[in-house]
Amino acid sequence: MNFFNMLLNDPVVFMSFIGLGVLFGIAGFYVYYFAKKIKEDK
């Protein structure tokens, strides 16, 4: 429970997780985009 309390109350931890979420979201988009383009090219 202490971890969740820290996650919600510490702005540094909160922003780090938001940053990681954005990073993985962008990476996932590019993987999807390039896989789609490679599939259409064949």
Give 21-42 pLDDT, tens digit per residue: 999 999 999 999 999 999 998 7
Residues 6 or more apart whose Cβ sits within 8 Å of residue 6: 13
Note the pLDDT of residue 18: 94
Report pLDDT for 13.
86
pLDDT at residue 10, as a whole number: 86
At 14 the pLDDT is 86
**Which candidate, 24, 23, 3, 22, places its Cα nearest to that of 13?**
3
14 vs 18 pLDDT, higher one: 18
